[in-house]
Amino acid sequence: MNDKTTWEFGTRQVVYAAIGAALYGGLSLLTNVIPLPAAGNITFRPAVAVLVFFGAAFGPWVGLLAGFFGNTIGDWFAGWGFYWHWSLGNGLMGMVPGLIMASIKDFKARPEIMKAVGWSILGIAVGMLFASVMEKLTGGIDWNTAIVGYFVPAFLGNLVVTVILLPILMIAFAGVAARRGR
Amino acid sequence: MLVAWKYRRRNTFIQRLDPRTRFIFMVCITFAFTIPDIWDYRIIAPLFILSLTLYLMARIEWKDVRRALTYIFILVFFIVGLNAVLSGRGGPSSVLNVASPILFRIPLMIPGTDWGWSVPVTVSKVWFAGNQMLRMLSMALLAIPIPYTIDPNIYGTAFKRMGVSDKVSFTMDLAFRFLPTTARDLTITMDAQRARGYEMDKLKGGLVARIQRIAPLIIPVVMQSTVTGEEVIDAMDLRAFGTAPRTWLKDLNYAPRDYFILGLGVAIFIICCVLKWVYGIGDFFVPDFFTNFLIG
């Protein structure tokens, strides 16, 4: 998990972090109009599946930067402004599944897909918990609102899209990667 | 193939500003709203007027920005505004905690049953919706002109000169450049899938079925992007990217007008912090004139 490939930050990571940020930000902009029943402005984001896929496929730096910049772009252009803890929370959400990048050899093998989904769920939990706890510390809300009003809807919304879309993305990527020979 | 933003050179004060000035000013205004958590209309309204003035000074043609502004207006007025009026969510807790006169109730019933809620629309929620919309527009009006008025060739230089590392500067530069390409790919994919009978507007079924039906739209765009990424990596590797510290072709220099705008941005941020934390001004409240206007 801590080998050189996992934490490498070269041309490949720079380009895929940028593409991941553009995809996550752009697709989030489209769905920022669909609010979830929550205490704050939590929106339904199918693009989360793309973010965790980029983490799992291209590593933790790609997931972190794609999540951070993608969320920042999406929020800024929609007028929500910049909330560093939500952007960093989204970054962590992409970073955690990136920790298993080096161990995924076959993107269409069921055990590898299950592993990626499992780590992505962990990433969603870590990222959204971080953002919700920071919201409590910076926004002055109580613990109940932070957990029930922010974390639970954000976690569940992201969990559902990840469980459904991540396996499809991985299987599709297996075909593309085989054709490209990389 | 990458496509570019609709950037056009215009002889305006906004375009003569250093791009770093514009990024830093935008950050200052956003932080002025979000760090001290400003919800007072006496601060929001002047900042909205300032953002609107700067937006108009950019002189962006309506045909260029029509789609972006339409999206923002739909989001702000119908989605956020309606959501704020109905639920009072997305802002300070005082919107819901303060006793406020009820204007009317909206019955939200489950079709075919007697179950549902009677949602009270209060003076506080209506005022909050107005504040929320102005606050969001103030920040969006600063962000939207950026792709239309900053040369895409100097994003990277601007980030680098702001102290960011070469690689992260390039990541941010490329992310901005990939955005219009992503939008183009999404439009092409949507048209292609519609030609095959895919009906985006008629997503029927439960939550799982709806998400599954988004896949024909998202998957081709993501896969196309990964293929494009390989081509960009090849091009960058051929130019020995990352082997030595980069040099940047364009040079940026601050002019007196930049110092003025930077000073203004920093001053607004400091004033908002002082007003909130020293004088206790900036929290949400409903002014009497608004309550009197609605209640009579």
Owning domain of residue A19: 4-180
A160 vs B contacts (CB less than 8 Å):
207-208, 211
- Chain A residues 144-163 within an 8 A CB cutoff of chain B: 145, 160-161
| Best residue of B211, B237, B273, B277 to probe chain A, by most A CBs closer than 10 Å | B211
Interchain pair A15, B144: CB under 8 A: no
pLDDT at A136: 79
Q: How far is B178 from chain A (nearest CA, A)?
A: 6
A46 vs B contacts (CB less than 8 Å):
211, 214, 218
CA-to-CA separations, B150 to B44, B56, B169, in angstroms, rounded: 26, 15, 16
B139 vs A contacts (CB less than 8 Å):
76, 79-81
Owning domain of residue B128: 18-245+252-295
A166 touching chain B per CB within 8 A:
no
Residue A55 confidence class, pLDDT cut points 50, 70, 90: very high
B75 vs A contacts (CB less than 8 Å):
32-33, 78-79
What are the structure tokens assigned to A10, written together? 């070269």
Q: Is residue B51 part of a domain?
A: yes
| Counts of helices then strands in chain B (DSSP H, E) | 13, 2
Q: Is residue B231 part of a domain?
A: yes
| Nearest residue of A to residue B93, measured between CA atoms | A141
Interchain pair A18, B175: CB under 8 A: yes
Length of chain B: 296
Residue A40 confidence class, pLDDT cut points 50, 70, 90: low
- Alpha-carbon distance A124 to A6, whole Å? 19
Residue A33 confidence class, pLDDT cut points 50, 70, 90: low
Mean pLDDT for all residues in chain A:
89
**Number of domain units in chain B:** 1
Q: How far is A18 from chain B (nearest CA, A)?
A: 4
pLDDT at B93: 64
pLDDT at B220: 94
Residue A139 has pLDDT above 70, yes or no: no
Q: Is residue B8 part of a domain?
A: no
Residue A58 confidence class, pLDDT cut points 50, 70, 90: very high
B241 vs A contacts (CB less than 8 Å):
11, 14
| Among candidates B31, B208, B232 on the partner chain, residue whose Cβ is nearest the Cβ of A164 | B208
**Number of domain units in chain A:** 1
| Nearest residue of B to residue A138, measured between CA atoms | B35
| Nearest residue of B to residue A21, measured between CA atoms | B175
pLDDT at B5: 65
pLDDT at B94: 66
pLDDT at A41: 67
pLDDT at A181: 64
Strands B102-109 and B116-122: antiparallel
pLDDT at A114: 97
Q: What is the mean pLDDT of residues A15-26?
A: 95
pLDDT at B3: 58
Residue A3 has pLDDT above 60, yes or no: no
- Alpha-carbon distance B276 to B278, whole Å? 6
- Alpha-carbon distance A137 to A41, whole Å? 17
Interchain pair A172, B222: CB under 8 A: yes
Interchain pair B168, A65: CB under 8 A: yes
Q: Is residue B3 part of a domain?
A: no
Interchain pair B75, A19: CB under 8 A: no
Phi, psi torsion values for B191, nearest 5 degrees? -65, -45
pLDDT at B237: 92
Q: Is residue B9 part of a domain?
A: no
ipTM for the predicted complex: 0.91
Spatial neighbors of A80 by CB under 8 A, at least 6 apart, are A32, A41, B136, B139
Residue A157 has pLDDT above 70, yes or no: yes
Residue A125 confidence class, pLDDT cut points 50, 70, 90: very high
Q: Is residue B236 part of a domain?
A: yes
Q: How far is B23 from chain A (nearest CA, A)?
A: 12
| Nearest residue of A to residue B230, measured between CA atoms | A12
Interchain pair B175, A168: CB under 8 A: no
| Best residue of A23, A33, A71 to probe chain B, by most B CBs closer than 10 Å | A23
Q: What is the CATH number of the domain that holds A33?
A: 1.10.1760.20
Q: Is residue B7 part of a domain?
A: no
- Alpha-carbon distance A64 to A95, whole Å? 5
Spatial neighbors of B213 by CB under 8 A, at least 6 apart, are B203, B205
- Alpha-carbon distance B8 to B58, whole Å? 11
A176 touching chain B per CB within 8 A:
yes
DSSP per-residue codes, A31-88: HTT-B-SSSS--B--TTHHHHHHHHHHH-HHHHHHHHHHHHHHHHHHHT----HHHHH
Interchain pair B30, A81: CB under 8 A: yes
Instruction: Specify the amino acid at residue A133.
Output: V
> In tens digits, what is the pLDDT along chain B, a chain of 296 residues?
555 567 888 889 999 999 999 999 999 999 999 889 899 999 999 999 999 999 999 999 988 888 888 888 887 887 777 777 777 666 666 667 677 888 888 887 777 777 777 888 888 888 988 998 899 899 889 988 988 899 888 888 999 999 999 899 999 999 988 888 888 888 899 889 889 888 766 656 677 777 888 889 899 999 999 999 999 999 999 999 888 888 888 889 999 999 999 999 999 999 999 999 999 999 998 999 998 998 87
